[in-house]
Copies of this chain bind each other. A is one copy, B any other.
Amino acid sequence: MNIRVRLTPDETRARIMTVAEQLFRRIGYAKTAVADIAAELGMSPANIYRFFPSKGAINDAICQRLCGESEAMVEAIVVSDRPAADKIRAAILAIHQYNRTLLSDEKRIHEMVEVAMNESWESIEAHCDRYKSMFARIVAEGAAAGEFDPALDPQMCGKAIFGACAGFFHPTLIAQCERKQDKPDPAAMAEFILRALRKSN
């Protein structure tokens, strides 16, 4: 027996995203058609298009959700009560772990992320900018507390920290890293970065 429940537009959007994500993970992004998502939901494709203009837009929304999830995790580190150096270490490891798990968990996710990076460059760039800002806040806080050099420019440091961790954060580099004999160590990079943030003579 089918029970039809009336969903709000937001709930319908969320349902479409959930089902699309399952299909993208199972079949792959390229091989999933909007018609497949519609069939799975018992909706018409035209109805899907009322909520999302394209398959790419659905993927985008899913990736935004993943980005939001990882940003919330780093935000929790930023506002936590511990020395700024520990926050830098924890944030670097958390982003690396999140992205690594996301990608290694399911090869399909890699495909979704790559599509998002190619098709929705601006939203990915905004996501990266939010990470840079969070690192900048930690640096400003550490500088104010006398833990880091007060002469530092927090914005520039936020960019430098994020840039220096590209090998640990970027999906393509994480995937390549798995093949390396001599794997780069995010904890060692965190210590190297902390050296740059502390007061120099």
Contacts and interface: CB of A to CB of B under 8 A. Distances in A.
Given A170-B173, A173-B166, A201-B201, A195 B196 contact: yes
Nearest to A156: B188
Interface residues of A, number: 32
Interface in A91-146: 117, 121, 125, 129
A189 B164 CA distance: 8
10 contacts: A125-B180, A125-B181, A129-B182, A156-B188, A159-B182, A159-B188, A163-B184, A164-B192, A166-B170, A200-B200
Interface of A: 117, 121, 125, 129, 156-157, 159-160, 163-164, 166-167, 170, 172-173, 176, 179-182, 184, 188-189, 192-193, 195-201
